Amino acid sequence: MTDTTDVAVLMRDMRDLADRIVECQGENSNGEEIIHLYDQSDTTFKAQNILLVLNAFEAERHRHDLFKFAFDEWLEKTDWVQARKKFPFQHLGMHRADVMTTYIEHLEADNAALKTKLANPVLLPAGYSARAGHPFHEGERNVMIPNKNGDWLSRFEVEHAIHVAGFPFTVKGE
């Protein structure tokens, strides 16, 4: 079998010859030119050449079908990009694969930042323990004394430790 270049040249020759025949028939050309073109068509349009062109066409059609199948599969699997309304306007007009790549890179960066943040634990302040106060201050029966093994924590110090660690927080009721 000949290579694709030969088939392309053959197809171009067939098209040119067919165009010239149609042109001559429309011009009511003299018989000699038409007879010459028909003689030329006997060799150009012989059965072997027709088979070559048809086989090349079928191979190209099969190749097209494979690409179409792959494209349809890809399109079906990426329809969520179009349906999702959360993408910022910068993604409008972008190719779906580019949107997905950008989105995946963004998620991976966020994930890495969160892993880094979670790798460093929140350092809580030292605790407090209650100790009896002075008997002459009736309102201060118990006094909070810093103690590393204490069960009580200062709310302000805990909020500060969480804030320094980079985590947002809210206080219920405020």
pLDDT surpassing 90 at residue 76: no
DSSP H stretches of helix in the chain? 4-27, 31-44, 47-77, 79-83, 96-119, 155-164
**pLDDT of 108 above 80:** yes
Higher-scoring residue by pLDDT: 74, 71: 71
Neighbours of 40 (CB within 10 A): 14
Mean pLDDT, residues 128-154 taken together: 69
pLDDT at 42: 82
Q: Are 153 and 124 in contact (CB under 8 A)?
A: yes
Q: Are the CB atoms for 163 and 131 separated by under 8 Å?
A: no
For residue 14, the model assigns a pLDDT of 87
Which residue type sits at 106?
H
User: What is the pLDDT at residue 102?
Assistant: 85
**Residue 1's pLDDT is what?**
43
Q: Confidence band (pLDDT; 50, 70, 90) for 137?
A: low
Domain ranges, ordered by start, for the chain: 4-79, 110-174
Rounded to an integer, the average pLDDT of 140-166 is 76
Per-residue pLDDT, 174: 63
Return the structure tokens found at 1. Answer: 């079998």
